[in-house]
Structure 1
Amino acid sequence: MLVSLGSVIPGMGLIDAHGHHLVNRHKMTCNAAFPCPRAMRPRVDFWIDVYSRWSSKDAVLHDANKPDRVYDVVRGQACRSRKGSKLVTRHKVAIAAELRSLASKVSQGKKVWGAEAQHFLSMFPRRDPAEIRRAASNIRCQGGNRDRFRKALKRYGTYRPMVRRVLRQSGLQSDIQYLPFVESLYNPAAYSHLGAAGLWQIMPRTARSLGLRLNATVDERLDPEAATWAAARYLNDSRTRLGKVAKKKRSGIRTGELSPFVITSYNYGVNGMERAIRKLGPNFVRVLERYRSRKFRVAVKNFYASFLAARYVAQNAKRYFGNVSANAPLQYRTLKLKKSQSVQRLSAVFGISSKQLKRLNPALTRHVWKGWRPVPKNYRLRLPLRQGGWGSQVKRLQAMTTEHGSKGVINYRVARGDTICAIASAFDVRCSELLSINRIGKKGFIRVGQTILVPGRGGSSRRATVPANPGSYMVRSGDTGCAVAKRFAVACNDLLSTNGLAMNSVLQVGQALIIPGVLTNQGAKTSYTVRHGDSVCAVAARLGISCEVFLAANEMNMRTLIFPGQALRIPRRIPGSVARSTSTQKFDANQKESTAAAPVPVVRKAEIPTAGTTVEYVVRKGDSVCEIALRLETDCKQLLASNQLDKRAVIRPGQVLSVPGVPSDLAESLILESNKEVTGTSLGVPSGQRQPLPEVEPLDQEIDLTIQTASRNGAVIYRINVEAEETLGHYSDWLKSGGTTSIRRLNDFSKGHQLRLGEVLLLPVENDGQRSAFDRERQDYHRVLVEEFKEHYDIIEVLNYVTKKGDSVWRLARTQGIPTWLIMRYNPLLRSAAPVVSQVLKMPSIQRRGS
């Protein structure tokens, strides 16, 4: 039975049948610079009401294509609130049912009775049943913004003088000052669910092209002035490019006619607007009504209308909000730092609290405010205006030495939201190492306020060799399987088997190939390339290695996915035999694979390691101290000093030596292979078993972003797989190569080549220093994306999603309302291959913190 409007829906109350929710008609005047065509007026009226009439606790149900067709307003229920979403859904279902019933009556020529049905019918002047039926499937929920807009007007006072100055100096119309009302409601700390940040809501990959820095210490998207200059550059470039395209369609186009396209390009992109103009000409209303594109959807179509509405409401603020006391304009002095300096030193020298400095310098990241990194050299530090200036303090600062990040052991105080592995990631150390040093239990529980001991950067390396992810390559004309394999320095057989190809298979232009991963450290028989149907333990059995050892060597557990083309490390073995206790030599009938074939040192209780991991080694006949150090990849002098020995000291079989500085991955493999007799807790290994790492959330898991190396014709090649939010410009910056030309030439890219997620890219690396700097800056960039997201959002649940035809990672990110990189974190397979139909993906559901 259909529910009629005007009746009570259980749990919903009475639906308004009298039209009080209809959009107001506003007497808006426009100028030549930013025209408002008559056909767009109803759309603009809707957005004026959104900003001035309905609050954030009102859910406005309207037609997505004709926003001024408002069916109902659910008071006191936000569109996306967990509590209100079910209620809003029931309203939408009831309205859709009424619309379908109405369409049926109209198509059958039946008379429409009742005020509510006639009210709905009045929204469709043409009385077209097909239009009414389509509308039933096109109901959208829009939250009001009256309360937020009022707060935005106060913040507007803080930044208005600066924004107007930058626009004027950039040669742009002053009315563009109202665009941040649409983007961020003039909140410089705004962060969207897709990852856009700051006053002008700039995406990470766009930031670099606009000259903004985004790394572990600075995110200039959050600097209102730097972001405003970046937005001005974007809009000027957009006007220039769109003007050229528009003049080819109509030479006499006026500047004002181009403005709707320029403003919309800020949301949709310049390339998208260029395509629309080429197809339909520089007529904005025609483009709104006729242009069809997968990305040209509700938000894009309403962007210019919402800009006009925000301008109108801000200019008439007193009419809608009464007297709003705007904040005082932000004023400051700028000092360009000649050396890197810590926040603590800056605070002491200038006599300013870190809280004041943070308010004036929002671009500095939490790594700086936590004291983990210094404020970098050449940063433009903002200081409060002060009578007499800061001359003496500046001289004192310049006389001081450069400060660097912490290298010694750090005492970190756990804050809300921290996890042990997230802390490890922030400090660039292994999670297992942090567990061991702090004697943290197997579940990895930590509490707010707890002090965690963190080894400094001078400590052990994060990792030696980890599983290398495969990438993708799009076949070009003339390619063969073995030629592609040779190009990326992988075995031809590995490439063919990974892709299910034979030696005589014919490749199709545009075909996507999986390029097997290669391990950073190359050597004879040190890696295995995963093939279709492989499992970790099956591979380990074929290699004659314990499955547990194989997992540890590749930093995986039994739940870790492996996929074709992935390169897995074959753990090394220590030659020779080591004395063991009797119990170690016993045969375990339940053990499928024996680990007795590779003798290893017995690991016993050791002190907290400093650099690397400390193990205890039982001397065998013929051993010498420096030979032991060589086999365990540590320093001979350090081994002598730790055991109070000199170079002439004689060691005897059965003697136990304490061996410091053993690489963590090697130590873990040794511990696992001797786990029947492990008696201590070094590296978190309790008696008789290996202590598991805590269950690590995907956001806290470290992904391998290091450059992969391989040999080709005697020369070393360097390659990476393209990750989300990366551009050629980023790679150029991280390599300090002075531009993208060398990267394009090495990869034979055309000028317009668009990078694809997972694409294999060759890099022009010249030395180890350049490679290390690239790895560090790339890791920092992605770490900041995760940290900023976690500051604003929580993962509340993870649901399974079955992919449909047409799904791509980009499209899923938009429809699910989450960043692209977040989908990749939860679905690592997508780092090397596009989603396929009926694939089951994990989709995290997010919620803004404090909501």
Structure 2
Amino acid sequence: MHLLILGSLLLFGAPSAASELFPSYPSIEPNVLFWIEAYSNYSTADGIIHDSNNLNIIYGVIELWPPEKHGSRKVNRKRIRNAKKKYKRILNKLAKNPATQDAEARSIAGLFWPNAGPADFRKATYNIRCQIGQRDRFVKGLIRSGAYIDKIKEIFRSEGLPEDLAYLPHVESSFNPKAYSKFGAAGIWQFTRSTGRRFMTIGYAMDERRDPLLSSKAAAKLLKQNYEKLGNWPMAITAYNHGVTGMLRAKRAKGSYEEIFKHYRKRRFKFASRNFYAEFLAAREVAKNYGRYFGLLQLDKPLDTREVLLEGYTTITDLSRHFQVGVDTIQELNPALRPPVLKNQKYVPKGYALRLPADAVDEKQVASAEMLEGLYRLHQKPSRFYRVKRGDTVGEIAQMHGLKVSELIIANNLDSRATIYINQNLRLPLPGEKLERVETTPQITPQLASASQAQPKEVAVLPPEHKESPFEGKTKVSDLPVTPAVVVGNLEVEHRLTEHGRQIGVIRVELEETLGHYADWLGVPTWAIRRLNGFPYGKMLRIHQKVKIPLDNVSREQFEQARIEFHQELQEDFFGAYKIESVQIYRVKRGDSIWTLCNDVFNLPLWLVKKYNPDVDFYNLRQAQKLAIPMVEKRGEAPDESTEL
């Protein structure tokens, strides 16, 4: 317990300017100390079994297989499940007889307050949680942070913000620029697409969330807005996880941060949100004093780079040749550039500040501007897609568009039989494009997708029912009629019409789409689409609902291209970070809706669940109805917390 005592002395000693900005209240002290231990003392081979509400209560630490070891996920889930069952059994024994003389029970009872009674022990059975240690990941994050931390602090100072906020990515991502969550949060700051596009460019060619410095500028703006609305850093930092609207609601209900922490209980204000500020304080303490916790570390050094502002569109191959810098180096220094740019499917965007080794730019400085002029194109390289119709074959589609069958197969990662599906959106490669297969997820025995779709209805919610395990068994992946990496759906403008002299298109809503997306792709404000359709503010879109869109600023083809690229990017990013390990069967219960299931039970995006259940009407779930649910495994490092599935 030496680290706990040391951390307590450091965190709760004499006040400083930093502690006044980021106060550590007595009520959150156990949580801060818990996270200091998780970050500095326990590795990913340790599972800390604890009470999720009272982090003073640690039942024990179990040994886990390292996440990189083959089969570790299955083994670790079983060990965690067995540990939870063990402590649940002991707590139930105490709930029946708090005075039991059983040795294990007395040891566990000693973790609680002196007057703990049956109700306390019974309640604790529902709060057993496993936190996987983070020491090895934190060390890796510290080493990575060396390349950026000074510049990130400078960014925060330039916005008039405390520079210690630069340590927040230790909580979000361990400073991993490649970090990507199941719900699409990306980069060291884990921006979702919806929040990120308020501050950054996010598209098929470029995603600035992936760039540590560009995303840090966005994070500084977001945190500054949070602080201006909430008035203190504990709430502003918590809002980075829970959302500023949610924290304003909590502030109205409870007033102060301490009262929120101690007494605010809402369905969306869960363990992660409640602990987020405490995690920040712990990460800040460990990162600022890493020598005390880890000894001497050699941190990555900032690279000496220069930026070249591109005044037109150009290929990454031409830039590599011009500056005599390898494409791999350009990719490393410019993580915002997405795979389509690296494969010459898209040009490097106009206006992009290309980061290059300093010596490469300095040598070309005099003639660079004039020579680059000859490399520029006026417009972005278009993407071409074809939506598969009943009766189509790959050979016919290739012939129709002047392509080789092999080109179409590689460009779309088709299986050895070149299987295609009705409504599948095939990408048509362009001349000179670098074609290579991309590993996504195991190919699955194909069947024809249904050509018809159930019309949306009001969501059915049944009265609640409780059961310990949400899943009842597994099914073979090869038995399912789905290939997850295929982009399927009617993403075309169904028809056009003229209203008051304006060109109007009609589309049907697909999963993950919002009015904000349509506004971005059309170059119009969101209110213009609302007014065109008579939608009141706050109205939610339904899957397959008809929506009219103005075609004043972009053509039908440009809108369709942006729309298909959005869905393509979503799936490429997901399957670049995750793979399908197996599929389990879930039976719908009373109280289930697809939204709560995806967020609270499956922890999966709705679009992925829909792929495995293409013929299920999610707006009308029936009790005992079977759903096929993919079990997702992260490529590389495993998730922070293991949960029972």
1:272 and 2:246 aligned:
yes
Q: What does residue 480 of structure 1 align with?
A: none
Q: What does residue 47 of structure 1 align with?
A: 35
* Pairs within 5 Å for 1:831-842: 833=619, 835=621, 837-842=623-628
Query: Structure 2 vs 1, CA of residues 757 and 174 (structure 1 numbering), >3 Å: closer, same or farther?
Result: farther
Cα offsets for 1:465-513 (capped at 9, x unmatched) = xxxxxxxxxxxxxxxxxxxxxxxxxxxxxxxxxxxxxxxxxxxxxxxxx
Q: Is the 8 A contact 1:408 1:455 kept in 2?
A: yes
Q: Is the 8 A contact 1:205 1:725 kept in 2?
A: no
SS at match of 1:302: helix
1:164 and 2:131 aligned:
no
Q: Is the 8 A contact 2:31 2:278 kept in 1?
A: yes
Q: Is the 8 A contact 1:341 1:404 kept in 2?
A: no
SS at match of 2:269: coil
| Aligned counterpart in structure 2 of residue 184 of structure 1, from 173, 183, 192 | 173
Cα offsets for 1:260-296 (capped at 9, x unmatched) = 1111111111111111111121x12221232222211
| Paired amino acid for 2:619 | A
1:26 and 2:1 aligned:
no
Cα offsets for 1:301-330 (capped at 9, x unmatched) = 111111111011112211110011111123
Query: Structure 2 vs 1, CA of residues 456 and 786 (structure 1 numbering), >3 Å: closer, same or farther?
Result: closer
Q: What does residue 450 of structure 2 align with?
A: 560
| Aligned counterpart in structure 2 of residue 779 of structure 1, from 530, 548, 564 | 564
Query: Structure 2 vs 1, CA of residues 169 and 275 (structure 1 numbering), >3 Å: closer, same or farther?
Result: same
Q: Which moved more, 1:349-358 or 1:741-750?
A: 741-750
SS at match of 1:562: coil
Distance 2:40 2:500 in 1: 69
| Residue 402 (structure 1) shift | 1.6
Cα offsets for 1:372-411 (capped at 9, x unmatched) = 21112122211121255633233211133428777999xx
SS at match of 1:390: helix
| Aligned counterpart in structure 1 of residue 518 of structure 2, from 720, 726, 731 | 731
* Pairs within 5 Å for 1:305-316: 305-316=278-289
Q: May I ask how many residue pairs the two structures share in their alignment?
A: 567
| Paired amino acid for 2:368 | Q
Query: Structure 2 vs 1, CA of residues 291 and 120 (structure 1 numbering), >3 Å: closer, same or farther?
Result: same
| Aligned counterpart in structure 2 of residue 445 of structure 1, from 386, 406, 416 | 416
| Aligned counterpart in structure 1 of residue 584 of structure 2, from 799, 820, 826 | 799
Q: What does residue 708 of structure 1 align with?
A: 494
Distance 1:802 1:206 in 2: 34
| Residue 709 (structure 1) shift | 2.7
Q: What does residue 195 of structure 2 align with?
A: 206
1:99 and 2:91 aligned:
yes
Distance 2:141 2:383 in 1: 44
| Paired amino acid for 1:98 | I
| Residue 240 (structure 1) shift | 2.0
| Aligned counterpart in structure 2 of residue 402 of structure 1, from 377, 386, 395 | 377
Query: Structure 2 vs 1, CA of residues 242 and 334 (structure 1 numbering), >3 Å: closer, same or farther?
Result: same
Distance 1:159 1:21 in 2: 28
Cα offsets for 1:714-770 (capped at 9, x unmatched) = 997533344444443322221112x22311222334445555655543322238x52
Query: Structure 2 vs 1, CA of residues 806 and 832 (structure 1 numbering), >3 Å: closer, same or farther?
Result: closer
Distance 2:218 2:110 in 1: 46
| Aligned counterpart in structure 1 of residue 64 of structure 2, from 76, 79, 90 | 76
Distance 2:539 2:217 in 1: 27
* Pairs within 5 Å for 1:87-486: 87-106=79-98, 110-114=99-103, 116-125=104-113, 126-209=115-198, 211-243=199-231, 258-281=232-255, 283-386=256-359, 387=362, 390-402=365-377, 433=396, 437-438=404-405, 444-445=415-416, 456-457=429-430
Distance 1:228 1:37 in 2: 28
SS at match of 2:547: strand
| Paired amino acid for 2:239 | S
1:720 and 2:507 aligned:
yes
| Residue 838 (structure 1) shift | 4.2
| Paired amino acid for 1:395 | E
| Residue 113 (structure 1) shift | 4.0
Query: Structure 2 vs 1, CA of residues 454 and 317 (structure 1 numbering), >3 Å: closer, same or farther?
Result: closer
Q: What does residue 762 of structure 1 align with?
A: 548
| Residue 78 (structure 1) shift | 6.2
Query: Structure 2 vs 1, CA of residues 274 and 710 (structure 1 numbering), >3 Å: closer, same or farther?
Result: same
Distance 1:799 1:153 in 2: 38
SS at match of 2:291: helix
Distance 2:94 2:328 in 1: 60
Q: What does residue 67 of structure 1 align with?
A: 55
SS at match of 2:619: coil
Q: Is the 8 A contact 1:51 1:146 kept in 2?
A: yes
Q: What does residue 741 of structure 1 align with?
A: 527
Q: Is the 8 A contact 1:200 1:227 kept in 2?
A: yes
| Residue 698 (structure 1) shift | 2.8
* Pairs within 5 Å for 1:499-510: none
RMSD (Å), alpha carbons: 3.5
| Residue 695 (structure 1) shift | 7.1
What's the % identity of the aligned pairs? Answer: 34
Q: Which moved more, 1:124-133 or 1:816-825?
A: 816-825
| Aligned counterpart in structure 1 of residue 609 of structure 2, from 823, 829, 839 | 823
Q: Is the 8 A contact 1:372 1:405 kept in 2?
A: no
Distance 1:455 1:770 in 2: 19
| Residue 337 (structure 1) shift | 1.1
| Residue 701 (structure 1) shift | 3.9
| Paired amino acid for 1:390 | Q
Distance 1:57 1:559 in 2: 43
Distance 1:845 1:727 in 2: 27
Distance 1:734 1:187 in 2: 30
| Paired amino acid for 2:244 | V
SS at match of 2:8: coil
Distance 2:178 2:381 in 1: 28
Distance 1:403 1:562 in 2: 41
* Pairs within 5 Å for 1:545-624: 560=450, 562-565=452-455
Q: Is the 8 A contact 2:94 2:105 kept in 1?
A: yes
Task: Decide which structure has the larger Cα Rg and report it.
Answer: 1
Distance 2:332 2:556 in 1: 36
| Residue 95 (structure 1) shift | 1.1
SS at match of 2:220: helix
Distance 2:285 2:207 in 1: 32
SS at match of 2:559: helix
| Paired amino acid for 1:734 | W
Q: Is the 8 A contact 1:196 1:202 kept in 2?
A: yes
The unaligned stretches of length 5 or more in structure 1 are 1-18, 244-257, 410-421, 448-452, 459-555, 567-693
The unaligned stretches of length 5 or more in structure 2 are 419-425, 432-445, 457-479, 638-645
Distance 2:5 2:93 in 1: 24
Q: What does residue 844 of structure 1 align with?
A: 630
Q: Which moved more, 1:272-281 or 1:715-724?
A: 715-724
| Paired amino acid for 1:397 | L
Query: Structure 2 vs 1, CA of residues 813 and 57 (structure 1 numbering), >3 Å: closer, same or farther?
Result: same
Q: Is the 8 A contact 2:314 2:375 kept in 1?
A: no
Q: Is the 8 A contact 1:212 1:220 kept in 2?
A: yes
Q: Is the 8 A contact 1:159 1:330 kept in 2?
A: no
